């Protein structure tokens, strides 16, 4: 069995409910066993430059993010297909809008380093994303990145503080900040 880390995100509707629904669907998939889910984290939407260049805008609703760890008997590409199916089941629109009810990213699959047309492992952007590293640090602070050789904690500490991209840890049952 492989240890896989999954990034979960949502900025449409009830983000925490969307993340829990996705996590629950993953837990019902043959070949997957859920191990742990981080607390949810609230972040301001951060547009990608390529979205802005094409006129695509993110909504104003903050993103809710978490990271989960599971054991998988599936090959990495099979797991990726399951993640895409769960996104589709929960109403992910792959069209023009960068907003999403759910976004699932395969961050790590054991220590596999892979560059495929469909999948790059570890996730190529994770070391730059506080909204991934903060919940990942909660679950695996000392896990080394197989390419960078840095732990999750070290990668998070290397990110400069920026109020626009800061994260706020929530509980699953907390009231949302006003």
Residue 165: is its pLDDT beyond 90? no
Q: What residue ranges define each of the domains in the chain, with the CATH number in brackets?
A: 2-169 (3.30.70.560)
**Radius of gyration of the CA atoms of the chain, in A:** 15
- Active-site residue 105, yes or no? yes
| Helix (H) / strand (E) containing 83 | helix 76-89
- Compute φ and ψ for 13, nearest 5 degrees: 75, -150
- Active-site residue 28, yes or no? no
Residue pair 143/151 in contact by the 8 Å Cβ criterion:
yes
Find the catalytic residue in 14, 28, 93, 103.
103
Find the catalytic residue in 16, 92, 143, 156.
92
- Active-site residue 103, yes or no? yes
Residue 71: CB atoms within 10 Å: 13
- Active-site residue 100, yes or no? yes
Find the catalytic residue in 56, 105, 111, 153.
105
Q: For residue 109, count CB atoms less than 10 angstroms from its CB and return exposed for 0-12, middle for 13-18, buried for 19 or more.
A: buried
Please tell me the distance from the alpha carbon of residue 41 to that of residue 32, in angstroms, as a whole number.
24
pLDDT at position 174? 76
Q: Tens digit of pLDDT for each residue in 58-77?
A: 566 789 999 999 999 999 99
Mean pLDDT of all residues belonging to the chain = 89
More confident: 164 or 85: 85
């Amino acid at each position: 069995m492989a240890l896989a880390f999954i990034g979960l995100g949502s900025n449409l509707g009830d983000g925490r409910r969307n993340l829990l629904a996705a996590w629950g669907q993953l837990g019902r998939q043959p070949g997957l066993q859920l191990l742990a889910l981080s607390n949810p984290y609230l972040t301001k939407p951060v547009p990608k430059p390529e979205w802005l260049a094409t006129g695509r805008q993110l909504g104003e609703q903050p993103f809710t993010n978490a990271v989960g760890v599971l054991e998988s008997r599936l090959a990495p590409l099979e797991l990726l297909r399951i993640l895409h199916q769960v996104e589709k089941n929960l109403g992910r629109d792959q069209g023009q809008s960068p907003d999403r009810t759910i976004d699932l990213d395969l961050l790590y699959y054991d220590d596999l380093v892979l560059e495929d047309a469909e999948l790059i492992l570890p996730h190529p952007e994770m070391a730059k994303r506080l909204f991934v590293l903060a919940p990942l640090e909660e679950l695996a602070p000392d896990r080394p990145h197989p390419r960078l050789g840095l732990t999750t904690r070290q990668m998070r500490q290397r990110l400069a503080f920026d109020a626009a991209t800061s994260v706020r840890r929530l509980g699953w049952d907390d009231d949302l900040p006003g």
